[in-house]
Structures are given as structure tokens and as C-alpha cells.
């Protein structure tokens, strides 16, 4: 894996697709365990960023009677969160009485996840769990605890495997991290 440059910014390889696949398998096993025999959960993929993780996780969980549906929120502009969440595309599926698993690409400030949980709770599901591929615990500004986390990462900007910089780079198979971020104080250790 080589460094890449996007919009004049340098990114270095951070998490390989092999490592991602391993953690997707682990998260899928945890979800199946917690479902406790429920064969018909509903997965809600938060567009756009989560679509690749959702495709892999949904197939890995592999329950023929489960459903997947989509919702779209937008909060990021360039490298930072705007703090304002807009629902760009609403839910079309009835989730009353069902076990829900939200699939997020990343929980950063947690504003999107908090808003989403709030919106979905009003539709009376049986339960709501939050699965995120990536979690930046040091950026969290809301009372949100992801139930399933692929990787805990420092508060640095990353791209690839669905995550974008202004809608670019979602198609990278591996995850890359911004090389030099003068605002950043975290170390680069990956903790799982
Ligand atoms: P939050 O509402 O601040 O938790 O941000 C959630 C959304 O911000 C995610 O679903 C992503 O779309 C975006 N986001 C947060 N951190 C990053 C990042 O490092 N790279 C790309 N997008 C990010
Ligand atoms: Mg985004």
C-alpha cells in the first residue's frame, strides 16, 4: 500500500482490507449472538459512507429473513463536522416491534448517531443497536455508546472503504489516514 494524494493532502495506508474483513467477521458474530435467535432483524444502513461496510456486514451476518433498508443524513463538509445534521432521505420501512441494527461507517462527534437513534426510537422498535466500523472516542460530544465497533481510532481524518473527502475516495479498498494534521494531538495507535 502506497501513500496517496487527494485535493493536495497526503494520506497514508492505515487499515488494510484484510484487517477490515477480520473485524467485520467478529462484529457479525457478536450481532448474531446478541440477536438471541431472532431471524428477522432490520439493518439500517446510514448513507452514504456506510454502504460498503453494510454490504459486507449484512452478508457476513447472513440471515435470510433479515432486511436491510437505508437512510441518509449529512453532517460533514470537507475535513470537519458542521455540527448540523440534515435528514436527506427518510426511512420507508415499518420498524415497529423489530430489532434494529444501525450500520454506520464512523462515529465521530456522535451527533448523527444520536439524532438517528432519537428519530428511530419514536417509531417503537423492539430494540436499537448501533454498529460502527470506526469509532473516534476522543471526538465524542454526545451521549452515544456504539454497541459494536470494528476499530477505535484517534481523532484524525480518514478515507476509503466508503469514507470520503468531499465525495471522493469512497472506492478505496483499504483505509487511509491524513499524514500531517497540524491540529492533531492524538497518537496513531490502533486499538481494537
Ligand atoms: P458525527 O455525526 O460527527 O459522528 O459524524 C458522522 C459522519 O461524519 C460520518 O457518518 C461520516 O460521514 C463523517 N465523518 C466523520 N469522521 C470522518 C472521517 O475521518 N473521514 C470521513 N468522514 C468522516
Ligand atoms: Mg461523509
Determine the average pLDDT of the residues in 22-48: 96
Q: Is the CB of 107 under 6 A from ligand 1?
A: yes
What does the alpha-carbon distance between residue 149 and residue 132 come to, in Å, rounded to a whole number? Answer: 5
Determine the pLDDT at residue 73: 80
What does the alpha-carbon distance between residue 167 and residue 122 come to, in Å, rounded to a whole number? Answer: 31
What does the alpha-carbon distance between residue 132 and residue 130 come to, in Å, rounded to a whole number? Answer: 6
Residue nearest to atom 15 of ligand 1 (CA): 108
Q: Is the CB of 111 under 6 A from ligand 1?
A: yes
Q: Which atom of ligand 1 is closest in space to residue 105's alpha carbon?
A: 10
Determine the average pLDDT of the residues in 24-28: 98
What does the alpha-carbon distance between residue 78 and residue 126 come to, in Å, rounded to a whole number? Answer: 36
Q: Is 108 a catalytic residue?
A: yes
Catalytic site residue from 77, 105, 108, 187? 108
With a pLDDT cut of 70, the percent of the chain lying above it is: 89
Q: Measured in angstroms, how far is the CA atom of residue 107 from the centroid of ligand 1?
A: 6
pLDDT in tens, 90-146: 788 999 999 999 999 999 999 999 989 998 999 999 999 999 999 999 999 999 999
Q: Which atom of ligand 1 is closest in space to residue 104's alpha carbon?
A: 10
Q: Measured in angstroms, how far is the CA atom of residue 169 from the centroid of ligand 1?
A: 14
What does the alpha-carbon distance between residue 45 and residue 57 come to, in Å, rounded to a whole number? Answer: 10
Amino acid at each position: 500500500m502506497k501513500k496517496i494524494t487527494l485535493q493536495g493532502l497526503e494520506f497514508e495506508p492505515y487499515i488494510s482490507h484484510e484487517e477490515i474483513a477480520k473485524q467485520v467477521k467478529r462484529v457479525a458474530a457478536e450481532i448474531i449472538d446478541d440477536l438471541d435467535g431472532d431471524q428477522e432483524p432490520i439493518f439500517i444502513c446510514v448513507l452514504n459512507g456506510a454502504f460498503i461496510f453494510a454490504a459486507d456486514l449484512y452478508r457476513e451476518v447472513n440471515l435470510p429473513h433479515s432486511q436491510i433498508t437505508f437512510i441518509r443524513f449529512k453532517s460533514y463538509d470537507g475535513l470537519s463536522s458542521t455540527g448540523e445534521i440534515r435528514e436527506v432521505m427518510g426511512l420507508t420501512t415499518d420498524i415497529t416491534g423489530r430489532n434494529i441494527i444501525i450500520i454506520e461507517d464512523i462515529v465521530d462527534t456522535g451527533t448523527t448517531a444520536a439524532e438517528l437513534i432519537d428519530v428511530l426510537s419514536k417509531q417503537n422498535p423492539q430494540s436499537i443497536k448501533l454498529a460502527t466500523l470506526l469509532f473516534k472516542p476522543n471526538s465524542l460530544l454526545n451521549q452515544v455508546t456504539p454497541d459494536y465497533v470494528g476499530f477505535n481510532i484517534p481523532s484524525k481524518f480518514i478515507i476509503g472503504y466508503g469514507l470520503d473527502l468531499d465525495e471522493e475516495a469512497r472506492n478505496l479498498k483499504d483505509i487511509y489516514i491524513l499524514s500531517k494534521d497540524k491540529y492533531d494531538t492524538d497518537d496513531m495507535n490502533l486499538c481494537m
